[in-house]
């Protein structure tokens, strides 16, 4: 029996606001009501069932890039101060309203009159979405209540937390069911729908977390779950390879070329209606934006982390390239120039050919400058911006970029395989994955064809190399904080650190108070080059806390007190004064 198809266009129409497509008007009119109070007969009608499912996609998956997620890690500016996370604040994720809608759909579709193959396909997509939400909730808190039946709107959620082990089992079961009901790969107008490739890749992510030190602090790297994670990620890579996925040749195209072979799970941008998923307006320098403050500003630690062109660290005396702090941009990993915008760097925003980005006081727009007594102490600058994922051609303020957000891409599967392979005695596969990533980046192979990687790394060294490489490959893609948390590295990587930027302090030997008309005119004509300036590493300017406060209690967040007050059967995590152990 043929599966009744609905394409991505229909999906998007169901949850885009203020757009008029004649072919989707009925779906738009019905989607909101269907998501809350599905009337009798909804699940007998294919268009109404698809409208309901479209709403579930919107409420279950991320809707955009995670702008400023790096503020809580060592990627970008922003200081996590004391009590940033408490039982009453921050990092709250409690998706039971969306789970209720998913349960309605999962339990109602089989009772309708749609063809059996259609029912199986729709339920499979919904089960993936439910697994996605439960996984994120477990990563936040550990075990949470497993609810499989849709409660009434007036029912009270008075159930206790399931163990973390039970939750992982439930998530894996939903993923297995989802995979059984889906085709191998969607493409064309159906791109963006959940398929087997998505499920397999995501299962690898889930099982990597299950094996991680976050959930197994007493036995972080020799527990039984690593073998299962390795098997899942091996299968995911093999399946993706067989179905045309792989690393894209050009790193920067990953974020600007829609539907490329690296995209496994994409949130589709569509112009008009679902645009600016990158948050271009929030990430651009304020001089090329509007009412935004320059999100995702790289800090000096990230800038330093990029290796030289031969893949060697900037501190490695065996590198063929000499690193100099006053010319820090020269001969670096090509991903550096495709991610980091520094003083004097080409940055042709708003279609301005030849435009360069300046950050020096009295040379740059005061909105962009990193210097003392400019923005005020509450508006930090780092001396850097990022170009990653931005649509440079859009005029200011940018609001119409239809670039996608890639929630999962092939490179993540390689990293997940590399980690699990390293912990199961298969470090040769880990090395192969890192070489593939570095080769695609454009790093030179070297005489040993190791692309700057150390030969004969032991297990600990390889583990560090994997995390270091992922730090760069996925900068500003919402991975770093969670990777450090997953490996329980807050104490060594985040807690107590200070954040720094690079301040351009002179131009042609003159300070900001000694500038000549030629200096000003050179900036206006974009003729001042990075090497015309002098630089000083400077701590970020802010009136708030200077040191990051990221204690070990953050490895699992507290259940919000509002929810505990509503449901006394919810037990708080042990690190937050409760009795519930969130580990396996």
In tens, the pLDDT along 457-488 reads: 999 999 999 999 999 999 999 999 999 999 99
* Residue 246 neighbours by CB distance under 10 Å: 17
Q: What is the pTM of this model?
A: 0.94
Q: Answer yes or no: are the C-beta atoms of 288 and 396 closer than 8 Å.
A: yes
Residue 515: pLDDT band by 50, 70, 90 thresholds?
very high
What is the distance between the terminal CA atoms of the chain, rounded to a whole angstrom?
43
The strand pair at 263-267 and 405-409 is best described as antiparallel
How far is C-alpha 346 from the chain's CA centre? 26
In tens, the pLDDT along 356-381 reads: 999 999 999 988 999 987 765 456 89
In tens, the pLDDT along 202-250 reads: 999 999 999 999 999 999 999 999 999 999 999 999 999 999 999 999 9
pLDDT for the residue 379: 67
pLDDT for the residue 290: 79
Q: Residue 496 pLDDT > 50, yes or no?
A: yes
Taking phi over 0 as left and psi of -120 to 50 as alpha, with beta for the rest, 322 belongs to beta
Phi, then psi, of 40 in degrees rounded to 5: -60, 135
Burial class of residue 479 in the structure, from the number of CB atoms within 10 Å of its CB (0-12 exposed, 13-18 middle, 19+ buried): buried
Residue 150: pLDDT band by 50, 70, 90 thresholds?
confident
Report domain extents, the chain: 8-60+81-182, 280-403+500-539
Q: SS3 for 291?
A: coil
Q: Residue 583 pLDDT > 90, yes or no?
A: yes
pLDDT for the residue 374: 75
Q: Does domain 8-60+81-182 have CATH number 1.25.40.890?
A: yes
Residue 305: pLDDT band by 50, 70, 90 thresholds?
very high
Q: Answer yes or no: are the C-beta atoms of 255 and 406 closer than 8 Å.
A: yes
Average pLDDT, the chain: 91
């Amino acid at each position: 029996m043929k599966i009744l198809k609905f394409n991505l266009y229909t999906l998007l129409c169901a949850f885009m606001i203020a757009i008029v497509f004649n072919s989707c008007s009925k779906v738009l009119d019905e989607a909101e009501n269907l998501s809350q109070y599905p009337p009798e007969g909804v699940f007998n009608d294919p268009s109404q069932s698809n409208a309901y499912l479209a709403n579930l996609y919107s409420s279950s998956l991320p809707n955009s890039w995670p702008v400023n997620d790096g503020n809580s890690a060592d990627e970008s500016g922003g200081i996590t101060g004391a009590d940033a996370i408490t039982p009453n604040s921050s990092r709250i994720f409690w998706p039971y309203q969306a789970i209720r809608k998913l349960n309605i759909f999962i339990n109602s579709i089989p009772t309708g009159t749609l063809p059996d193959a259609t029912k199986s396909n729709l339920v499979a997509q919904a089960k993936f979405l439910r697994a996605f939400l439960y996984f994120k909730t477990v990563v936040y808190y550990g075990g949470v209540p497993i609810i499989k039946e849709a409660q009434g709107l007036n029912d009270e959620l008075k159930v206790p937390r399931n163990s973390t082990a039970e939750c992982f089992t439930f998530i894996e079961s939903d993923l297995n069911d989802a995979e059984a009901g889906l085709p191998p790969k969607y493409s064309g107008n159906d791109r963006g729908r959940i398929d087997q490739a998505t499920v397999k890749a995501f299962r690898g992510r889930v099982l990597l977390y299950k094996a991680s030190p976050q959930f197994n602090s007493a036995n972080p790297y020799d527990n039984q779950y690593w073998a299962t994670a390795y098997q899942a990620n091996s299968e995911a890579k093999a399946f993706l390879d067989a179905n045309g996925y792989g690393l894209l040749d050009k790193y920067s195209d990953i974020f600007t070329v829609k539907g490329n072979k690296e995209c496994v799970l994409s949130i589709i941008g569509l112009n008009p209606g679902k645009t600016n998923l990158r948050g271009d307006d929030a990430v651009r320098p304020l001089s090329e934006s509007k009412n935004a403050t320059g999100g995702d500003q790289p800090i000096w630690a990230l800038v330093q982390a990029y290796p030289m062109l031969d893949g060697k660290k900037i501190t490695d005396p065996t590198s063929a390239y000499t690193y100099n702090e006053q010319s820090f941009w020269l001969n670096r990993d090509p991903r550096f120039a495709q991610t980091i915008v520094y003083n004097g760097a080409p940055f042709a925003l708003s279609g301005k050919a030849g435009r360069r980005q300046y950050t020096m006081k009295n040379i740059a727009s005061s909105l962009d400058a990193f210097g003392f007594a400019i923005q005020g102490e509450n508006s930090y600058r780092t001396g850097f911006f990022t170009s990653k994922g931005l649509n440079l051609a859009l005029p200011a303020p940018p609001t119409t970029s239809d670039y996608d957000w890639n929630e999962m891409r092939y490179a993540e599967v390689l990293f997940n395989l590399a980690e699990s392979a390293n912990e199961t005695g298969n470090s040769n596969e880990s090395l192969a994955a890192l070489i593939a990533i570095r080769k695609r980046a454009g790093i030179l192979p070297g005489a040993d064809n190791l692309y700057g990687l150390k030969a004969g790394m032991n297990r600990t060294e390889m583990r560090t190399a994997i995390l270091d490489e992922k730090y760069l490959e996925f900068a500003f893609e919402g991975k770093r904080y969670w990777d450090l948390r997953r490996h329980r590295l807050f104490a060594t990587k985040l807690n107590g650190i200070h954040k720094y930027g690079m301040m351009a302090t002179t131009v042609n030997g003159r300070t900001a108070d000694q500038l000549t008309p030629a200096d000003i005119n050179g900036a206006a004509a974009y003729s001042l080059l990075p090497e015309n300036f002098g630089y000083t590493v400077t701590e970020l300017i802010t009136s708030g806390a200077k040191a990051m406060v990221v204690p070990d209690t953050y490895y699992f967040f507290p259940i919000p007190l509002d929810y505990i007050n509503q449901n006394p059967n919810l037990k708080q995590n042990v690190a937050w004064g409760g009795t519930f152990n969130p580990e396996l």
